[in-house]
């Protein structure tokens, strides 16, 4: 699926991501590779969206990576302390929004760890405990 996203950074860096496809991730992350056709298409798109990338000399490509988006069954990120594991915190499952929501997530998680409660956002909807509640309701 052609679904590119462009993120312009204050440093002048441009992150371009996209070219999603539906498949389960492999067991070994080392086997995840980018598809040459998808990478070529993203390069083509990048030249259309940035005047800096249209220059003859082009721009330096910092990295080409392939990955799977961390998504949860309910579509919400998982942010908070792992139930039953004191002092173990997690912040994941933001899907494609992690690059934008990461700073706020980090700030909220820091407040939770340091102060015992996040003040900038209510983390209750994102608690890892919600998955335990669902499992117990199903009788698993």
* pLDDT tens figures, 13-60: 778 777 666 778 888 888 888 888 888 888 787 777 766 666 556 667
What integer is the mean pLDDT of 82-109? 93
Give the pLDDT score at 92.
96
What integer is the mean pLDDT of 81-87? 95
Give the pLDDT score at 29.
83
- The span from the CA of 108 to the CA of 101, in Å, is 11
What integer is the mean pLDDT of 88-98? 91
Continuous H helices in 1-140: 36-49, 51-54, 98-115, 129-138
Contacts 24+ apart (CB under 8 A), 21-28: 25/68
- The span from the CA of 87 to the CA of 67, in Å, is 28
| Residue 55 structure tokens | 């220059």
Give the pLDDT score at 121.
95
Give the pLDDT score at 53.
63
Tell me the Cα Rg of the chain. Answer: 19
- The span from the CA of 33 to the CA of 64, in Å, is 9
Residues in contact with 69: Cβ distance below 8 Å, sequence separation at least 6, in sequence order: 20, 95, 96
Per residue in 110-120, pLDDT (tens digit) is 999 999 999 99
Give the pLDDT score at 57.
60
Q: Which of 104, 105, 101 is nearest to 91 (CA)?
A: 105
pTM value is 0.68
- The span from the CA of 63 to the CA of 40, in Å, is 14
């Amino acid at each position: 699926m052609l679904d590119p996203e462009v993120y312009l950074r204050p440093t002048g860096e441009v992150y371009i991501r996209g070219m999603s496809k539906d498949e389960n991730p492999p067991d070994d992350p080392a086997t995840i590779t980018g598809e040459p056709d998808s990478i070529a298409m993203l390069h083509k798109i990048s030249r259309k969206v940035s005047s800096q990338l249209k220059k003859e000399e082009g721009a330096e490509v910092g990295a080409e990576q392939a990955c799977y988006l961390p998504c949860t069954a309910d579509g919400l990120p998982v942010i908070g302390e792992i139930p039953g594991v004191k002092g173990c915190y997690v912040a994941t499952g933001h899907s494609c929004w992690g690059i934008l929501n990461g700073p706020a997530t980090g700030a909220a998680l820091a407040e939770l760890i340091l102060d015992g409660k996040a003040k900038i956002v209510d983390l209750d909807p994102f608690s890892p405990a919600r998955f335990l509640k669902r499992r117990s309701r199903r009788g698993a």
